[in-house]
């Protein structure tokens, strides 16, 4: 494996400046914007309910990640020390990973070990209050919407350690053959600020470590961990990256990029779980299209919808600079509009503007007068964007926001109705660990759009390269996937309005019995219908990936939650279905919580140990997988669904190579990044 950076270093950028001819940096402003966020707050800390107590010392913080077969397992262990002379109650807050399935919570205090079981939320709260009122140790894990998991621990004894351990799973998808794993440490980054009465301490006094074990059936070309210096070791099945430090601060997200080798085929992969032949099976189906999509070479329309709310105060200057430079890359046959929003929207350009030098200069003068302030009314910005759209031209709508919509219309159903009015190409960029991804998903589902979370720790140029392949290339329309021959049910939506270049698609579902299945995919490309098919088997028994059941159940819950928010399900029925799924598959949701107790306490409260049994099955499967080579889960090798290779990042030539002005911009950004880092270290 070549240990090269996915993203160029300083000298590479200077070389690019001298060599490459042109890149439309449509997404540069979105990714650049996130670098200049206001001071972030650490999420990996245990806060105290009483602000008069001394904050707990973080003795150590360890993260172990395993990436295998399309999903990641993250295990976090932290030890805290209470230096107070009295017992305290602590609250640990952790950003909810998108599609993250929390599976295990353990608390260790002295010789006592407590483990978690999921029950209905009201029952969990009642037990926690009852146990802690009696002075008994207990823990409670709850989910606060899409934003946070909250871990309550009481009592934390004086002059004593307490250790918190939790595990979660999440599916990972590739983008142009590049995988991205995020361990969130920065908290917030939106208009919604956590009240500051909690006592916080983000400094690790002892050891801080992160280890990522990447297991891949496909050859790995490169890995990268921007901002973290890791020791990388090649293994027979992939690579292991280790970051270890004596102390440190839990204030910067950890992002792990991995890039597969070039020229890998378009493919279909199946990760099943079926305990016995008389029980239903569960599956994760991963489709990596190998389809040739051509660059857009005709005049194109671009609408920028940009957040200028109060939380953007420290970032607006950089945003404006990025937009101005982007406008200068447009062709005269292109058109653009610029819409700013906070409490309301304001269209700077008033109408479509041809991208001539004169009009671009005028737009730049208008941008120079932009000011930040107010709340976040995303609906107003999007509504303004739809005025005057020309259905005869390709229209790209680019929304960039770091906030949670908190002003004006907030009903997801209204957003869906608005977005369905026109056939546009939608691209959303969400900045920060608390951004409203469920709402962004609703917007994307309505338009066939694509959205990308962005962290302060992400690579700027890498994100631009990946987004470039979507914005500047044609898309697949009306993607429709069908499975025949095997009885499948409770499958995630398989009809997608648009699929963009480089996208990998993941579907979850269940099946009754094993057997031969025929996969059919029908699409439209450039107005022409295209068909892709293959044949493969669903197994009668496969116990190697029991974690798939939790991921399927969470996917099912998210589907129910979205349907409920759009008024497509009766809330009573959906709430009941979500609760039943969450208890059966042991998931923390808005309706269920994880109560953390000793064995004796569980017995006293009459709580079945469902999660204990599920964890045992998952651990046994993980041990068995570690003993054996990585299994290649491709099922269409003998009968390929796609005849072409999967696309790779386009770093030059074709639709927009990197231009001299853009290389200069990148060098300038690096200087600003260094200045920002220097300032944060001084403070």
Inform me whether the pLDDT recorded for 610 exceeds 80. Answer: yes
Report the candidate in 596, 627, 677, 664 with the shortest Cα–Cα distance to residue 166. 596
Q: What is the pLDDT of residue 320?
A: 66
The position carrying tokens 């189906």 is: 285
The predicted pLDDT at position 123 comes to 97
Residue 49 burial (CB < 10 Å; 0-12/13-18/19+)? middle
pLDDT at 327: 77
What is the signed CA dihedral for 95, 502, 23, 662, rounded to 10 degrees?
30
Q: Which two tokens stand for residue 109?
A: 């205090």
Q: Indicate the pairing of strand 450-454 with strand 425-431.
A: parallel
Coil/strand/helix, residue 339: strand
What's the CA dihedral at 117, 123, 128, 131 to 10 degrees? Answer: -100
Max mean pLDDT range (11-20, 265-274, 462-471, 555-564): 265-274
- Is 191's pLDDT higher than 70? no
**What average pLDDT does the segment 151-156 reach?**
94
What local confidence, expressed as pLDDT, does residue 313 receive?
62
Greater pLDDT, 374 or 458: 374
Cα within 13 Å of Cα(500), Cβ side: 25
Bond into 155 cis (ω within 30): yes
Mean pLDDT highest for which of 231-245, 599-613, 656-670? 599-613
Q: What is the pLDDT of residue 432?
A: 66
Q: Taking a C-beta distance cutoff of 8 angstroms, is the pair 283, 549 a contact?
A: no
Contacts of 452 (CB under 8 A, 6+ apart): 427, 428, 429, 430, 463, 466, 467
623 has a pLDDT exceeding 90: yes
606 contact partners, CB below 8 Å, separation of at least 6: none
Share of the chain above pLDDT 90, in %: 51
Helices (H), 566-659: 571-585, 599-605, 610-627
What average pLDDT does range 351-357 have in this prediction? 90
3-class secondary-structure state, position 350: coil
Model confidence at 524: pLDDT above 50: yes
How far is the C-alpha of 395 from the C-alpha of 212, rounded, in Å?
40
Name 337's Cβ contacts closer than 8 Å, sequence gap at least 6: 301, 302, 303, 304, 347, 349, 351, 352, 353, 385
Lowest-confidence region among 25-34, 376-385, 464-473, 545-554: 25-34
116-133 pLDDT, tens digit per residue, is 999 999 999 999 999 999
The pLDDT, as a whole number, for residue 135 is 93
Could you report the per-residue pLDDT of 92-120, keeping only the tens digit for each?
A: 888 888 888 999 999 998 888 999 999 99
Rounded CA gap, 282 and 293, in Å? 33
Distance separating alpha carbons of residues 77 and 204, to the nearest angstrom: 13
User: Which of 15-19, 67-71, 484-488 has the least mean pLDDT?
Assistant: 15-19
| The pLDDT value given to residue 72 | 96
* Predicted local distance difference test score (pLDDT) of residue 498: 93
Instruction: Decide: helix, strand or coil at residue 568.
Output: coil
Distance of CA 459 to the CA centre of its chain: 15
Question: What's the rounded mean pLDDT across residues 28-52?
Answer: 50
| Contact between residue 341 and residue 306 where contact means Cβ atoms under 8 Å apart | yes
Using one digit for the tens of pLDDT, what is the confidence trace for 465-482? 777 778 888 999 999 999
Instruction: State the residue for tokens 């737009």.
Output: 363
Mean pLDDT, range 381-395, rounded to an integer = 89
* pLDDT of 244 higher than 60: yes
| Tens-digit pLDDT profile for residues 268-311 | 999 999 999 999 999 999 999 999 898 887 888 989 898 888 76
Rounded Cα distance between 62 and 60, Å, is 7
pLDDT at 18: 29
| Whole-number pLDDT of residue 189 | 46
Rounded alpha-carbon distances, angstroms, from residue 262 to 222, 291, 460, 637, 648: 11, 15, 22, 18, 7
Q: How far apart are CA 284 and CA 539, in angstroms?
A: 13
Could you give the 3-state DSSP secondary structure of residue 130?
helix
Report the run of H or E that residue 239 belongs to, with start and end: strand 238-249
User: Looking at residue 10, what is its pLDDT?
Assistant: 32
Range of lowest pLDDT (14-23, 259-268, 563-572, 663-672): 14-23
CA gap 583, 575 in Å, rounded: 12
Strand pairing category for 476-484 and 46-48: unpaired
Confirm if 445 and 565 have CB atoms less than 8 A apart. no
Over residues 228-246, mean pLDDT: 91
Taking a C-beta distance cutoff of 8 angstroms, is the pair 285, 549 a contact? Answer: no
Give the per-residue pLDDT at 68.
Answer: 93
pLDDT top residue among 23 and 131: 131
**Length of the chain, please?**
683
Q: Is the pLDDT of residue 195 over 70?
A: no
- Predicted confidence at residue 117, as pLDDT, reads 98
- pLDDT, position 312: 65
β-partners of residue 535 are 518
Do the beta carbons of residue 458 and residue 37 sit within 8 Å? no
CB neighbours of 275 closer than 8 A, spacing ≥ 6? 541, 543, 546
pLDDT digits (tens, 9 = 90+) for 637-677: 999 999 999 998 764 433 333 333 333 334 444 443 433 33
Average pLDDT along the chain: 83
- pLDDT for 45: 64
- 289 neighbors 503 (Cβ within 8 angstroms): yes
Neighbours of 420 (CB within 10 A): 12
Which tokens belong to 51?
Answer: 């602000």
Write out the E strands in 121-237: 138-144, 148-156, 160-171, 174-175, 178-183, 186-187, 203-215, 220-224, 231-235
Distance CA 259, CA 225 (A): 12
Give which of 562, 496, 443 is closest to 146, Cα–Cα: 562
Tell me which DSSP letter residue 175 carries: E
Q: Which domains does the chain have, with CATH numbers?
A: 10-37+299-474+648-682 (3.40.50.410), 43-263+591-625 (2.60.40.1730), 476-585 (no CATH)
Per-residue pLDDT, 26: 44
pLDDT, tens digit, 9 for 90 and up, residues 501-517: 999 999 999 999 999 99
Are 293 and 352 contacting, i.e. CB atoms less than 8 angstroms apart? Answer: no
User: Which position has the token pair 């020791």?
Assistant: 231
Triad 24, 29, 34: Cα angle to 5°: 145
Residue 36 DSSP one-character state: G
User: How confident is the model over 69-91, as a mean pLDDT?
Assistant: 93
* Residue that wins the pLDDT comparison between 11 and 451: 451
pLDDT of res. 571? 80
What φ, ψ does residue 577 adopt, rounded to 5°?
-65, -40
Q: Which two tokens stand for residue 435?
A: 């951004």
* Separation in Å, CA 666 to CA 116, 350, 464, 652, 669: 47, 31, 11, 16, 5
19: pLDDT strictly greater than 70: no
Helices and strands in the chain: count of H runs, count of E runs: 14, 34
Burial of 11 (0-12, 13-18, 19+ CB in 10 A): exposed
Q: How confident is the model at residue 40 (pLDDT cuts 50, 70, 90)?
A: very low
Burial class for 159, CB neighbours closer than 10 Å (0-12, 13-18, 19+): exposed
Q: Which element (helix H / strand E) includes 464?
A: helix 460-471
Rg (CA), the chain: 25
**pLDDT tens-digit series, residues 355-371:** 888 888 888 888 777 77
Cα-based distances in Å from 463 to 185, 371, 451, 454:
20, 27, 12, 8
């Amino acid at each position: 494996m070549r240990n090269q950076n996915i993203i160029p270093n300083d000298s590479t950028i200077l070389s690019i400046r001298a060599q490459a001819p042109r890149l439309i940096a449509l997404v540069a402003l979105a990714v650049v914007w996130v670098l200049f966020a206001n001071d972030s707050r650490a999420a990996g800390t245990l806060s105290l309910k009483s602000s008069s107590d001394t904050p707990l010392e973080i003795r150590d913080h360890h993260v172990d990640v395993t990436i295998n077969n399309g999903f990641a397992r993250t295990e976090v262990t932290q030890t805290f020390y209470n230096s107070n002379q009295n017992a305290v109650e602590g609250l640990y807050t952790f950003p909810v990973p998108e599609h993250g399935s929390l599976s295990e919570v353990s608390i260790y205090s002295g010789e006592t070990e407590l483990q978690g079981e999921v029950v209905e939320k009201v029952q969990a709260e009642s037990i926690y209050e009852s146990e802690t009122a009696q002075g008994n140790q207990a823990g409670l894990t709850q989910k606060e919407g899409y934003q946070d998991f909250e871990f309550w621990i009481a009592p934390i004894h004086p002059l004593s350690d307490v250790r918190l351990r939790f595990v979660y799973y999440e599916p990972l998808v590739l983008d142009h053959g590049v995988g991205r794993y995020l361990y969130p440490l920065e908290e917030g980054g939106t208009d919604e600020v956590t009240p500051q009465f909690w006592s916080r301490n983000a400094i690790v006094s002892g050891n801080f470590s992160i280890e990522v074990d990447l297991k891949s059936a496909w050859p790995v070309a490169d890995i990268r961990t921007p901002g973290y210096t890791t020791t990388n070791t090649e293994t027979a099945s992939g690579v292991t990256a280790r970051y270890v430090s004596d102390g440190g601060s839990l204030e910067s997200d950890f992002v792990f990029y991995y890039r597969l080798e070039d020229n890998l085929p378009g493919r279909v992969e199946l990760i099943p779980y079926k305990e016995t032949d008389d029980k239903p099976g569960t599956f994760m189906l991963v489709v990596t299209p190998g389809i040739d999509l051509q660059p857009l070479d005709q005049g194109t329309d671009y609408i920028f919808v940009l957040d200028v709310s109060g939380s953007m105060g420290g970032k607006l200057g950089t945003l404006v600079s990025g937009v101005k430079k982007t406008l200068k890359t447009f062709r005269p046959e292109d058109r653009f509009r610029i819409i700013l929003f906070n409490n309301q929207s304001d269209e700077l350009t008033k109408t479509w503007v041809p991208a001539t030098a004169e009009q671009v200069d005028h737009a730049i003068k208008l941008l120079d007068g932009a000011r930040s302030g107010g709340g976040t009314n995303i609906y107003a910005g999007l509504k303004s964007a739809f005025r005057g759209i020309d259905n005869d031209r390709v229209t790209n709508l680019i929304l960039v926001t770091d906030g949670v919509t908190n002003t004006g219309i907030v009903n997801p159903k209204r957003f869906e109705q608005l977005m369905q009015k026109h056939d546009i190409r939608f691209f959303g960029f969400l900045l920060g660990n608390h951004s409203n991804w469920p709402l962004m998903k609703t917007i994307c589902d309505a338009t066939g759009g694509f959205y990308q979370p962005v962290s302060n720790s992400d690579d700027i140029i890498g994100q631009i390269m990946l987004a470039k392949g979507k914005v500047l290339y044609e898309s697949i329309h009306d993607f429709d996937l069908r499975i025949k021959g095997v009885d499948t049910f409770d499958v995630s939506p398989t009809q997608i309005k648009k699929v963009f270049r480089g996208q990998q698609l993941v579907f979850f579902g269940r099946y009754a019995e094993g057997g031969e299945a025929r996969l059919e995919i029908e699409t439209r490309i450039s107005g022409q219908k295209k068909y892709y098919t293959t044949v493969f088997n669903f197994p009668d028994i496969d116990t190697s990936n029991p974690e798939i059941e939790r991921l399927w159940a969470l996917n099912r819950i998210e589907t129910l939650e979205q349907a409920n928010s759009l008024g497509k399900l009766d809330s009573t029925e959906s709430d009941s279905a979500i609760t039943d799924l969450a208890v059966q598959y042991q998931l923390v949701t808005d309706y269920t919580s994880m109560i953390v107790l000793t064995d004796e306490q569980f017995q006293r409260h009459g709580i079945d140990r469902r999660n204990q049994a599920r964890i045992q099955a998952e651990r046994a499967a993980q041990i068995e997988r570690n003993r054996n080579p990585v299994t290649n889960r491709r099922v269409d090798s003998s009968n390929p669904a796609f005849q072409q290779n999967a696309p790779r990042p386009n770093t030059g030539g074709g639709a927009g190579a990197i231009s001299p002005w853009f290389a200069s911009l990148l060098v300038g950004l690096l200087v600003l990044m260094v200045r920002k880092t220097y300032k944060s270290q001084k403070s």
